Structure 1
Amino acid sequence: MHKNLIYLFLSICLAIQSVKALDYVQSKQADSLIQASIVKVYDNPNESIDLGLKIFEDTNNSIKTRTKALMLVSLAHTSKRDYQKALEFIVKAEELSKNIDDKVLQIEILFRTGILYQQLKIFDKSIEFLEKTEQMALIYPDRQQVGKYLANSYTVKGFIYKDNLNCDIALEFFDKGIKEYKKLKNIEVNTNLSIAYYNQGNCYTLLSDYDKAINSFNKSITHATMEEANSLIAFAQKGLAAVYTDQGRYQDAIVLLEEASKKSQNVGDLILNSSIYSGLFENYLAINNWEKYEAYYNLYAKTQLDIKSSERKSVDDSIRKIKDVQSEKLTDIKSKFKNQLTWFGVIFLVIIFLCFLVVKNSKSDIISLKKEIEQLQNQK
């Protein structure tokens, strides 16, 4: 008997360990699926959303895996420019992440939340979350693991202050961000440095500090060239050309803008193309080259129409999406109402049936009592 109990206990322990092992394997597989989906999230965001929700809703997955699943859903909504929905899921991820001991993941979530508030132009909330990011990153022992979030946070703060025309403060944060990027040893550094230097250059241009602006834009071009990032090279060339235009160096500006135009051909960024064409027709006008002025003005006008058409399409898509969501909600409400009605009907029938049984049993009891009374009277 004693041996049987031991065997039973060992069997239960092995079963528990097997379940834990299966859960671990399942979570690892889910993590791999999430990682693979992140790579193609911009190509097929809806697929990423479906996958993320499926993994999150499976409670057999670890809390960390389910948190990452919510982050994937948020990223997919970001790729669709639905920042409000993206924020909704990253907030859920933040709440869930409080139950795990993974400071790096928590820092990443805080940073992503700050970015989404920045995208929604809720700048005070954005700065609040960026400062939380910085506080956690600064006390984390391994700077290489969290340094990119610290550098990104400083840079995004620079964006916010630049957009609010406070370039003096913005420049302080761009400097801090650049300093942190230079401490890192990963492939993202050159791209991020190019973006930081480009925005720094724009600030110096607004402050009419042209020497520093030229220096910043040249550094932006250098780092973008290292990664062969044509869009970033074109943006920096456009920024540098704007400085040359302000200085009256129209021919130098034209050379740069023509190069930027070639670089941006396969990028497909309408805003970038529009600003390049605008710079070209303005500079050709300044040197009285009417033929080139007219050609680039027409390209600029056409691109503006394409931008408005794209914006209208985005608005139409948003309206259609809202209608679809409302339709889904209405269908869900109808379905719930039908279910409630069905259950109400079932409960009503059960009550009627129970009442019938009670009445029937009462009648049987009454008949039995009558018979007993009659028997008693007959005995007398």
Structure 2
Amino acid sequence: MRSWLIAICCCFLLAPKQIFAQDLEADKLKFKEARMLLYDEPEKAISISKSLLKTEKTPDQIANIYMLISNAYVAKRDIDSSLYYIMRTSDLLTTNVKTVTKIRILNTIGVQYQQMDLFDKALENLEKSEALCRTLPAKDYDRNFNLNFIDAVRGMIYRSQSNPEMAINKFVPAISFFKNLATEPKNDANISVFSYNLAYCFLELKNYNQAKNYFDEAIFYGKRSGTKSLEAFAYKGMADNYYTQHDYKKSLEILAAAEILAKDVSDLSLKEGIYEITRDNYLALNDWTKYQSYNELLRLTRQKKQDSELKSLNRLMNLQNQDFQKKLSKSEKQFSIYQIIIWSIVILALLIMLKRILDFRKRNKTLTQKLGSQLTD
């Protein structure tokens, strides 16, 4: 009987821990699911992530969820909402989060600014991230992973700045590093993105064979990651390669595959690219009807994209204004403190001087009285 009661008590004591462990495992699975849906179903990824925020308490995990939400909005090309969440993430940099979390936050901010073509801000955050990476042990996985990721993002910036040679020097070793990692969707997605950008560097240099090789890699890894949008981007790039070489029919064949993959994807930049190259192909083939059709699709897509970008720029300006106001307020407070200190010192000095003057007068008066009494005597 006694042992039975003890067993029951143990069950009650262990039950909360088991439930807690089960909840943690369930949250991990949800987070993993949201990450898998990041590119192809960003809305669903956002919904899952926001539900996780209701139960999550640790700053590190909150930061990870914010970054996931921000990246999901980037996938939707809703830069305004993405910026909102990444700024909330940046607030956690001053909290007691792990160094690796800080690195990931800075990387995400860097990518955010890179997406907005604010390259100086992007590079600034990447430099901060790199400095933190250097504090980790030389053979640490997170150190090497993030250093290569940082270089790859720098490569994307250099490519955008029309410096393909510098970009290639960043991409090649980074891609090689990611290829040596374990096969998993996250790594495959990174390889696909970076190979796509590397291919465009070779395309800009008119090295069409190398461009094709890397577009092929981008297609392969995009497909293996299970991400339709990345696969579609890679097909779009391959089509661009053929278009540049005036093989318009081949280009259109590949674009048709890209358009099917992109059908249910909310990435406006992807659709913009597909519509633009398709339109240009039909223009080259003198197919005016289809040219006009895709030109209209392109116009509408660009309008949506510009509206989104305008909102994000407004938010960025507001955030910068808030940051300026905070700094100004801080400066004013510091100035006020300095003023108080200075005036306190001045008043104290005046009081000391006044006391000395009064003491001096008192001594003079005493001496005068003594002298007077001596003269009288």
Normalising by structure 1, we get a TM-score of 0.62
Q: Does 1:297 align with 2:292?
A: yes
How far the C-alpha of 1:157 sits from its partner, in A, is 0.7
Using the alignment, how far apart are the partners of 2:272 and 2:24 within structure 1? 43
Give 1:169's aligned amino acid: M
CA distance in 2, matches of 1:136, 1:31: 30
| Match in the other structure for 2:69 | 76
Kept in 1, the 8 Å contact 2:83–2:312? The answer is: no
2:155 to 155, 158, 165: 158
Task: Tell me what 1:221 maps to.
Answer: 219
Q: Counterpart in 2 of 1:128?
A: 124
Query: Take 1:312 and 1:275, find their aligned partners in 2: how far apart are those partners?
Result: 17
Please tell me whether residue 115 in structure 1 is matched to residue 107 in structure 2. no
> Unpaired runs of 5+ in structure 2?
1-15, 35-41, 319-377
Taking the TM superposition and a 5 Å limit, the aligned residue runs for 1:175-214 are: 175-187=172-184, 188-214=186-212
Matching of residues 6-85 of structure 1 within 5 Å: 36=30, 39-40=33-34, 42-43=43-44, 45=46, 52=53, 65-73=58-66, 75-76=68-69, 79=73, 81=79, 82-85=81-84
**AA in 2 matched with 1:90:** T
Inter-partner Cα distance in structure 2 for 1:237 and 1:307: 20
Structure-2 separation of matches of 1:38 and 1:264: 23
- Segments of structure 1 that go 5 or more residues without pairing to the other structure are 1-21, 57-64, 324-380
Are the counterparts in 2 of residues 83 and 120 from structure 1 also a CA contact under 8 Å? Answer: no
Whichever residue aligns with residue 108 of structure 1, its letter is R
Instruction: Compute the displacement of 1:198 (Å).
Output: 0.7
Distance 1:285 1:125, change over 3 A: closer
In the alignment, what sits opposite 2:333?
Answer: none
Tell me how far 1:156 sits from its aligned partner: 0.9
Look up the match of 1:168: 165
Residue identity opposite 1:134 in structure 2: E
Q: Partner of 1:43: helix, strand, or coil?
A: helix
Percent identity, please: 24
User: Could you say what secondary structure the match of 2:182 adopts?
Assistant: coil
CA distance in 2, matches of 1:74, 1:225: 24
Confirm or deny that 1:91 pairs with 2:90: yes
Q: Distance in 2 between matches of 1:84 and 1:271?
A: 17
Say if 1:107 and 1:137, in contact at 8 Å, map to a contact too. yes
The one-letter code matched in structure 2 to 1:76 is I
The counterpart of 1:263, out of the listed 254, 261, 264, is 261
**One-letter code of the match for 2:254?**
L
Q: Distance in 1 between matches of 2:313 and 2:246?
A: 44
Give CA-to-partner distance per residue, 1:300-343, whole Å, 9 cap, x none: 313422542565478689999x99xxxxxxxxxxxxxxxxxxxx
Q: Choose which of 221, 224, 244 in structure 1 pairs with 2:242.
A: 244
Distance 1:204 1:96, change over 3 A: same
Deviations 1:4-39 (A, max 9, x none): xxxxxxxxxxxxxxxxxx99x989968975874685
CA RMSD of aligned residues (A): 3.9
By relative contact order (CA 8 Å, sep 6+), the higher-ranking structure is 2
C-alpha contact 1:71 1:89 (8 A) present in aligned 2: no
Aligned position for 2:346 = none
Task: Give the counterpart of 1:286 among 279, 284, 287.
Answer: 284
Separation of aligned partners in 1, 2:264 and 2:46:
23
**8 Å CA contact retained: 1:190, 1:224:** yes
Mapped partners of 1:120, 1:268: distance in 2: 18
CA contact (8 A) 2:30 2:48 kept: no
Structure 1 residues 238 and 31 mapped into 2: Cα distance closer, same or farther (>3 Å)? same
Q: Compared with structure 1, are the counterparts of its residues 277 and 310 closer, same or farther at alpha carbon in structure 2 (3 Å cutoff)? A: closer
DSSP 3-state at the match of 1:215: helix
Three-state SS of the structure 1 residue aligned to 2:44 is coil
2:145 aligns with one of 141, 148, 154: 148
Residue 221 of structure 1 aligns with an amino acid whose one-letter code is I
The one-letter code of the counterpart of 2:178 is Y
CA contact (8 A) 1:110 1:132 kept: yes
> Deviation of residue 177 (structure 1)?
1.6
